[in-house]
Chain A
């Protein structure tokens, strides 16, 4: 399957700071990538769809000014959590869709802890 990387794998930050998470599609050009959030022992919740060269599409209830998504190249999408608060602490996962396989492949995730 496709290879998706995320960086960092784990980050701890102070309340009020911003954190950037990178998601890279390593073996093909991904025009579309997805960002999910997962709380402990819960399912994945889609936050937004990241489209290369255009604005991201956010799911209902997700603050676009809080979670900034940039997809400036075909292999890189970034999620920036702005003015982070402890309630933003979560596991963030990205994925891409490989058209040939018609399947989404996931990155290893980023654990964010806001103190």
Chain B
């Protein structure tokens, strides 16, 4: 079974600075997707960014980018120019493309605080 590990329960960053959230995963599969979701205090899960494992190029969405290291099974999220609205719980998630169900496996989450 696949597992996702987020080793940083809490992180903090100053407004306008850059922060990197870590995520590692364990799988024997070669075809999968990786996601970062954020969950603000409203508890609405919001997709931040996604990465297909077969793509070598790191995904980027405005101020959010990932560092995808397939061999190392690492998928970190970099938030540039942090804003107060970025404060949230961030979840890394894995989805297999080889087994049925399209289920997401989530990490434990990282609570990000943005300091003004």
- The distance in angstroms between the C-alpha atoms of A2 and B25, with both chains bound, is 27
Residue among B43, B103, B108, B109 making CB contact with A108, cutoff 8 Å: B43
- The distance in angstroms between the C-alpha atoms of A85 and B101, with both chains bound, is 30
Contact of A102 with B by CB under 8 A? yes
Q: A32-B102, A43-B107, A103-B35 are in contact. Are A1 and B47 (CB under 8 A)?
A: yes
Contact of A106 with B by CB under 8 A? yes
User: Which chain A residues numbered 1 to 24 have a C-beta less than 8 Å away from chain B?
Assistant: 1
- The distance in angstroms between the C-alpha atoms of A56 and B46, with both chains bound, is 25
Residues of A within 8 Å of B104, CB to CB, are 34, 44, 46, 104
Contact of B45 with A by CB under 8 A? yes
Residue of A32, A91, A95, A106 with highest tally of chain B CB at under 10 A:
A106
Q: Mask for B22-45, Cβ within 8 A of A = 1, else 0? A: 000000000001010100001111
Contact of B91 with A by CB under 8 A? yes
Assess whether B47 is in contact with A105, with CB atoms less than 8 Å apart. Answer: yes
Assess whether A95 is in contact with B47, with CB atoms less than 8 Å apart. Answer: no
Q: A43-B91, A95-B45, A108-B43 are in contact. Are A103 and B103 (CB under 8 A)?
A: no
Assess whether A106 is in contact with B102, with CB atoms less than 8 Å apart. Answer: no
Contact of A71 with B by CB under 8 A? no
Q: Mask for A79-99, Cβ within 8 A of B = 1, else 0? A: 000000000000101010100
Assess whether B109 is in contact with A103, with CB atoms less than 8 Å apart. Answer: no
B interface residue count range (under 10 / 10 to 19 / 20 to 34 / 35 or more)? 20 to 34
Residues of B within 8 Å of A106, CB to CB, are 37, 44-46
Q: A34-B103, A46-B104, A49-B103 are in contact. Are A93 and B45 (CB under 8 A)?
A: yes
- The distance in angstroms between the C-alpha atoms of A13 and B46, with both chains bound, is 29
- The distance in angstroms between the C-alpha atoms of A38 and B44, with both chains bound, is 12
| Closest Cβ–Cβ distance, residue A57 to chain B (whole Å) | 7
Residues of A within 8 Å of B101, CB to CB, are 49, 57
Q: Mask for B80-116, Cβ within 8 A of A = 1, else 0? A: 0000000000010001000001111011110100000
Could you list 11 examples of A-B contacts with CB < 8 Å? A34-B104, A38-B43, A43-B106, A44-B91, A46-B104, A91-B43, A103-B35, A104-B47, A104-B104, A106-B37, A109-B43
